Amino acid sequence: MGHIKFDYTNAMIQPHEYTNLKKQVELAHQMLHEGNGPGNDYIGWLDYPENFNREEYERIKASAKRIASNSDVLIVIGIGGSYLGAKTVIDALSHTFYNELPKEKRKGPKIYFAGHQISGTYLTELLEMIQDQDVSLNVISKSGTTTEPAIAFRVLKKALEDKYGKEGVKSRIYATTDSENGALRKLANAEGYESFVIPANVGGRYSVLTPVGLLPIAAAGIDVDALMAGAAEGMKEYGNPNVDENPAYQYALVRNVLYRKGKAIEALVNYEPSMAFLSEWWMQLFGESEGKDGKGLFPTKLNNTTDLHSMGQMVQDGPRHLFETVVRVEAFEKDIVIESDALNLDGLNYLSGKTMSYVNDNAFKGTLEAHLDGNVPNCVISMSQKDAFTLGKLLYFFMKACGISGYVLGVNPFDQPGVEAYKKNMFRLLGK
């Protein structure tokens, strides 16, 4: 099975700094597991990989098969945690050009996302893209009134009703929403849409392993059983209160030490394009959980080696206020061997017989050495392989570390009061 390793050898912290913060991490563990810390109404994700609704889970898998059988396209409508987790998993575990593959080579329908911004151009062109294809919708919203997804759903629902009729569309809309309340729950009940429940005690950014993420992930043909099994193993492994034996807790500890040493920015770095969207999910997870009361590391991302040609100079020689956390994949199923060329005009024959993953790994190692020389602390999170089990475990790793890190920081990692400020101004300007 897949393994996750955390290496902070190059994090540039002293033994006493690690030791001094261990008690706070142990206290955070106690608060989280005893449910007496801030935001304890939203810790349902903590044991969800084992304590989920099995009947609903089977309905999710059945619905995914139905979508695959009658739809060329599934459009996932949601914003923030309602789409980031699903897109992260689908991007990481699907063919890079999944939507461009012929139907017989895909494991499910094409997957498009909507409702994650307010762009008339995007939605118009999405409608153009799907006009000659069979389509299903998965609309994800606890309230059903969040502006971005609500607009997208209104437009796309009408397009489907025009195409299939009011009755025909009922079997093509899947609602993931609150169990009892809200506009979307009311509509789903009235129209008879297949519906799934967003657990009341799980916040959006922690919801990837709930129906929020599982339906679109399963529809894409990804093994959700393996994903959940990996998360369940992570739940057990990262439930260990011994910091020295718990890599998720070590990560939470080290990032808090670095924050107290003046490192205000954490960049999540990857060296594999399919893992790029993990950074988007991670940025919401930590940014929305910790950015409160004037506190919190600013989460950002680097997609290497691409960004070494744009941001590498800044990281190497710019202000010393950041550290890097690299997510490294150790083994790949697909690779290319670089062949010799008779002319060797590009000077690459010294790489003959080497794989691209070998070259990429040495780019990672060389960059690590350079950034350490530039006084940039580095942590490395290694995945033994890129599969559903290991990714499920990694997602749980980050969620557990985030809950612990927020408590160590002294904030409530499960609320987001600042998110409402822009909405009030927007609604006022729109005349609501």
- Residues noted as catalytic: 288, 423
Listed in order, strand segments (DSSP E) in 220-335 are: 265-270, 298-303, 322-329
Alpha helices in 270-418 (DSSP H): 276-290, 312-317, 356-373, 388-409
- Exposed (0-12), middle (13-18) or buried (19+): which is 14, by Cβ within 10 Å? exposed
Answer yes or no: are the C-beta atoms of 178 and 142 closer than 8 Å. yes
**Most distant CA pair in the chain, distance:** 70
Answer yes or no: are the C-beta atoms of 391 and 198 closer than 8 Å. no
The residues, any chain, with a CB within 8 Å of residue 387's CB and separated by 6 or more, are 2, 93, 226
Two structure tokens written together for 291: 């950015």
Paired with 175 in beta bridges are 139, 195
The candidate with the shortest Cα–Cα distance to 364, out of 330, 413, 406, 407, is 330
The candidate with the shortest Cα–Cα distance to 397, out of 407, 383, 387, 409, is 383
Answer yes or no: are the C-beta atoms of 81 and 205 closer than 8 Å. yes
CA dihedral of residues 263, 267, 268, 270 (deg, nearest 10): -130
Answer yes or no: are the C-beta atoms of 64 and 218 closer than 8 Å. yes
Distances in whole angstroms, Cα of residue 9 to Cα of each of 18, 246, 332, 377, 418: 12, 15, 25, 9, 36
DSSP single-letter state for residue 2: -
**Which string of DSSP letters, residue by residue, matches 129-172?**
HHTTS-EEEEEE-SSS--HHHHHHHHHHHHHHHHHHHHHHGGGG
**Which string of DSSP letters, residue by residue, matches 73-96?**
EEEEE--GGGTHHHHHHHHHHS-T
